[in-house]
Amino acid sequence: MEKNLGNYRKSYEKSELLLKDTPENPIELFRSWFNEIDVHFPEDETNAMTISTIGLNGFPKNRVVLLKKFTYEGFIFYTNYHSEKGKAILNNPKVCLSFFWAGAERQIIIKGEAEKIAKNLSDGYFESRPRGSQLGAIVSNQSEIIENRAILESKLKDLELKYEGKEIERPDFWGGFIVKPVEMEFWQGRPNRLHDRIHYKLNSDFDWIKNRLAP
């Protein structure tokens, strides 16, 4: 039986976002929101973000990854450079990130360009990972077709024996990307679908211009 989704309704009433209350640099607002979610909405996975890329076939694709660091320069995550996602980024570095924190009725959309981070930074993060995660990065030929899960589990056992008592080095095909933002939009849910949307755009002088958008 077809389900009627037209009656799904929710009134967003938890907060507001006024232009006059926003900082000149959007990273400062991102940091403030991120910290608030981390403290007050533990049910949300604060650093989970959707990244959208344009694939080699010309189609856009979204998937959820984990933000591992952010600075005034940009947003850093890690992946297999040979994966579908990695190949798409290396072919077309223009990407979009989005965060949705349902508990706070907030959303952030970030447009930017991605580039590989320095190898020593990827090395440092890889060293900080649990051994299981380190081995998992080596085991998986990410995005490639495999016959069954048993292949992965067997390969993992072999690598556990190979690296027993040894340091695991980061493979060259795995590392970080930093997304350097050129546009950021902050969305706060409001009643009657009159949501607050504050948009920042980086100009040629590397200053941020901010405006309110109609919902």
Active-site annotation, residues:
193
Closest of 128, 160, 143 to residue 82, by C-alpha = 143
Rounded Cα–Cα distance for residues 184 and 111 (Å): 6
- Joined together, the tokens standing for residue 207 give 């200053």
Q: Which helix (H) or strand (E) holds 104?
A: none
Rounded Cα–Cα distance for residues 211 and 114 (Å): 25
* Contact assessment for residue 81 and residue 171, using Cβ atoms and an 8 Å cutoff: no
- Joined together, the tokens standing for residue 138 give 């080596």
Rounded Cα–Cα distance for residues 116 and 170 (Å): 15
